[in-house]
Amino acid sequence: AQRVTQPEKLLSVFKGAPVELKCNYSYSGSPELFWYVQYSRQRLQLLLRHISRESIKGFTADLNKGETSFHLKKPFAQEEDSAMYYCALKTGTYKYIFGTGTRLKVLA
């Protein structure tokens, strides 16, 4: 079955602390994985994708095919990182499966 699992509904960290948002996937094909973010009162937008291997706003994510994971990490959380984060798996040429999301709260 094709599935994306985000085990944490809510993650609270203090400003300056490291952050790791977990994402595991189930897919028999070659996965394409993404992190989307939704800030308060804004639309859902792409944060980063695994094929780009880039760091966006200090966030990185590494695809681990052995553990079927794509965890999102940032070494030092900022208050403006507070948002809803969704992990997404692209299956085929156009279909995306989203996880249930993790709300990140960065406390001052």
Residue from 4, 63, 72, 106 in contact with another protein (CB under 8 A): 4
Residues 14-53 that bind another protein (CB under 8 A): 34, 36, 43-46, 49, 51
Residues 74 and 16 sit within 8 Å (Cβ to Cβ):
no
97 binds another protein (CB under 8 A): yes
Which residues lie near another protein (CB under 8 A)? 4, 6, 9, 34, 36, 43-46, 49, 51, 86, 88, 93-101
